[in-house]
Amino acid sequence: MTKAIQSFEHALSTIRTGRANPNMINDLEVEYYGAPTPLSQMGQISVVEGTQLVVKLYDTSMLKEAEKAINAANLGVTPQNDGAVIRINVPRLTEETRKELTKQVNKLSEEAKIAVRNVRRDLNDLIKKDEELTEDSEKKELDKVQKQTDDFIKQIGDIAESKSKEIMTI
């Protein structure tokens, strides 16, 4: 269940909020001499003035490939290659874009909740198959699993709510 929350938080870190965030492009994979490589391993990604990302690659011959990967990711940003670095201006979000991103956050939170519920189902099956447990102890274990599930789902809801507020804040 903890892994589901960690995965959810990682997915949320890639959603832009109107401010430049290196996590938007950290995991983008670029074809690097025949092997897909995360952009974060190919160079340094930094934020300039809060509205611009600067990607400085260790191997400047890969600038074109990195630029293609950023364009292909459909992030709503346009990379600018000046021969030494790639600059990405992160535009301010419109109201419509903010609503779309909030819908995306809600979708991701629902997927995380489903993952938590799947873990609960698997645990419940294991508890019910355990023949050494008495009826009372089985009931207690099932209740424990349900309480944990409720706690994790509440955490996911809180995280999604704070991300939605962050997105909707101008």
Q: Phi, psi at residue 7, to the nearest 5°?
A: -65, -40
| Amino acid 113: pLDDT | 95
Tell me: pLDDT of 75 over 80.
no
| Amino acid 11: pLDDT | 84
Tell me: pLDDT of 14 over 80.
no
Task: Classify domain 19-89 at the CATH topology level.
Answer: Gyrase A; domain 2 (3.30.1360)
Q: What is the mean pLDDT of the chain?
A: 87
pTM of the predicted model as reported, rounded to 2 decimal places: 0.69
DSSP result, 123-151: HHHHHHH-TTS-HHHHHHHHHHHHHHHHH
Neighbouring C-beta atoms of residue 80, cutoff 10 Å: 12
Residue range 17-45: average pLDDT?
A: 84
| Amino acid 10: pLDDT | 85
Q: What is the CA radius of gyration of the chain?
A: 21
Residue range 29-54: average pLDDT?
A: 87
Q: Domain boundaries in the chain? A: 19-89, 95-168
Answer whether 139's CB lies under 8 Å from 146's CB.
no
Pick the closest to residue 40 from 56, 52, 51 (CA basis).
Answer: 56
Residue range 57-64: average pLDDT?
A: 88
Q: Which of 14-18, 61-65, 107-111 has the highest mean pLDDT?
A: 107-111
